[in-house]
Chains A and B, each alone.
Chain A
């Protein structure tokens, strides 16, 4: 199994450009998440989804949008890129909610985004 696959691995954007970070999982997990990782700041939740058609905001949703049309895919959209969105973005999935040792988060390998 591939697990959680993120594309692209790296991207440089100019201020004001838009892009979509792709995420797909082949584990038939209901829950999917987008986190951003900044040095010394840990992982901050951007958006999450508990199933197809259902999404909700996390801690830092401003400047991002998501959709969940299928169980497998959970793309993250940046509409007007800003330097503050320079970060490493991780997509993750889990079978149920994360409050369970038997349903851990499975992370992709991340997308490193630079906005200049």
Chain B
């Protein structure tokens, strides 16, 4: 019930491509869905987040798409750059819970 399943485990795209990372959840009490970005040797940092009352949120080149009925959400990176190479984690949290449940992570490589 508390799991968040993330795919793919790794992804390689060419510069300018649009990598898509997918996450699925079971717990219908989840109501906050952030994405965290982690560079090698660093801790994760919040990238973008969405609540289930909207189907899409954009911040710069990063977009979250949310499908409440399917219990799925995804991260799209437009015009990807080598500097976007990092590990990306989706996460979820229900109202009132004090800690996030993280997905297993996706290692993205953007080749020049």
Q: A35-B102, A110-B42 are in contact. List 19 more A-B contacts (CB 8 A).
A: A4-B43, A40-B105, A42-B6, A42-B89, A42-B104, A42-B105, A43-B44, A43-B89, A90-B43, A97-B97, A97-B98, A98-B97, A99-B97, A99-B98, A100-B32, A101-B49, A104-B49, A105-B46, A109-B41
18 A-B pairs (CB sep. < 8 Å): A31-B98, A42-B6, A42-B89, A43-B89, A45-B100, A90-B43, A98-B98, A98-B99, A99-B31, A99-B32, A99-B93, A99-B96, A99-B98, A101-B51, A104-B34, A105-B44, A107-B45, A110-B41
A residues engaging B (CB < 8 A)?
A: 4, 31, 33, 35, 40-45, 48, 50, 58, 90, 92, 97-101, 104-110
